[in-house]
Amino acid sequence: MSILSILVFIGTMFPLFVVDTYAQVTFVKTYKGSKANAVHQTSDEGYIIIGEKSAYIYLIKTNLSGNVSWTRFIGGSYPNTGFFIEETSDGGYILSGVKGERDLAFELIGDAYIIKTDKKGAIVWEKSFGTNGFGDYGYEVRETPQGNFILAGVLNTGLNIGEPVAFLTLCNAHGDSIWMKQYHNLASAYNVLPTNDNGFIFTTFDYDLPSEGIHLAKSDSTGKLIWSNNAFSGSVRANALSITLDSNYVVAGQIFDKGSHSAGILVKVDPHGNEIWHKIYDRPEIDAINDVYPCRDGGFVLAGATEIRQKAGFFNWLIKTDFKGDTLWTKIYPNEYDNIATSVEQTNDGGYIVTGETSSTSFGQSYSSTRNEIFLMKTDSLGNAPWEDKKLDNLTQINDQHWLYPNPFKDEAVLVYQPIGDLYRDRDTFIMYDLQGREAKRIENIWKGQTLIERGDLSPGLYVYQLIHKEQVRFTGKVVVE
């Protein structure tokens, strides 16, 4: 199935899951800051974002409409990074990251960091875990059903001493360590989740398993390693881990076994880390899935970035799937420069909240220089958001087979479509006709599903175009030259 299809097979969604899209709040907001790594909907219907600004861990709390309620800065003497945040059972927040330290040889070093705040973002307690300061990371933290906190990360004992070592540490509600375990056969612990038997499952890299693949590991309630498994073989990077409604797990990430480009991937595994199925979401250029969230209809929402090379950048990419990982719809959100979605959740109204980084300074306004900012996008249940409405047809889908943008265009446009046949050997031809049926432009030897359309000597007006694949018309459309 083409992932460029929008709203394909919507009728296969579960009939009991009905959402009134007209009642859903949608918005796009930007905030000053360099990057956002996670977003979470809070119990007051607002949102909490963790990111980075200057040398600080940066927290942004918003209301339901994305308007800022408060912000907090943590750290600052040396570079600090916040990776993950979630609301805790007492209404506060737990977050993880890196507490920076001074070093002249490394850009980012420090200790793994876990912080508990109250509901206003004020620090209640903080703990750091490190060795010699050679890049120790606290990647993800979760509250357990018992009210404790599990932190997954990596410890580095120094470049001349040893290799990176994965660790888990369990702290109580006051930040006191219950236990800490290091796994010397594992390079790192990234994403972590509590399991139904009070243990923990986490993504990792196991030195004893094949070097390429999605590695998962399982510990018991005391941190003792029970198993480590290669859930999927291939050149893959795991970026997110989530539990499913049927008590299995899904891992989302990026697969590099795609010739000259990469693709997004979703792998479902059982509680022992064995693959149930996998799906690949592939476009002609570089793609990555950065986060996955289980939806109430049993399916999943995926967030990441997809490259459109002629635009020299990446666009936000949102995919909704059914419970088998098959695409229901996909959305690409354009902008003048790079936009990368890093985190997504389904919201209480059935829509989706997405955060990440964008290079634009504000939507719908001019900008004097390119710099990264944090964005927060709220969509309805079909992925619609004001981002698209404000971009003046930067990206217009003509039908379920291709995009041509901008449309209308003045100097040049880009045609992007899902290629068929042999991606590297087959060649397609693009032809434009004026309203008298005369051929006005021809582009031959198109491959990998995309081409740049330069205006050249085309006169202003309406044109009809065709894409020819193996002497057959694959699709047609209309475009306006201004």
pLDDT of residue 149: 98
State the pTM of this model. 0.74
Listed in sequence order, the DSSP H helices in 302-455 are 386-389
Strand bridging mode 461-469 / 428-433: antiparallel
pLDDT of residue 160: 46
Ordered domains of the chain (ranges, CATH):
10-16+23-392 (2.130.10.10), 398-481 (2.60.40.3080)
- How many C-alpha atoms does 66 have within 13 Å on its Cβ side? 19
Any bridge partners for residue 59, and if so which?
50, 72
Q: Which residue ranges of the chain lie beneath pLDDT 70? A: 1-23, 76-77, 101-109, 131-134, 157-162, 257-260, 284-286, 308-313, 334-337, 360-371, 387-401, 422-424, 448
CB 191 within 8 A of CB 203: yes
pLDDT of residue 395: 37
Cis peptide before 334 (omega within 30 of 0): no
pLDDT of residue 406: 83
Listed in sequence order, the residues at least 6 apart from 433 whose beta carbon sits closer than 8 Å to its beta carbon are 439, 440, 463, 464, 465, 466
As a whole number of angstroms, the distance between CA 337 and CA 360 comes to 7
Q: pLDDT, tens digit, for every residue of 198-256? A: 999 999 988 887 777 899 999 999 999 999 999 998 888 899 999 999 999 999 999 88
CA nearest neighbour of 314 among 401, 235, 254: 254
Listed in sequence order, the residues at least 6 apart from 358 whose beta carbon sits closer than 8 Å to its beta carbon are 30, 335, 337, 338, 339, 340, 372, 373, 374, 375
What the block records as the tokens of 410 is: 């003045």
pLDDT of residue 137: 87
pLDDT of residue 322: 95
* SS3 category, 10: helix
φ, ψ (nearest 5 deg) of residue 389? -65, -25
Listed in sequence order, the residues at least 6 apart from 2 whose beta carbon sits closer than 8 Å to its beta carbon are 8, 400, 401, 418
Count of CB atoms situated within 10 Å of the CB of 191: 23
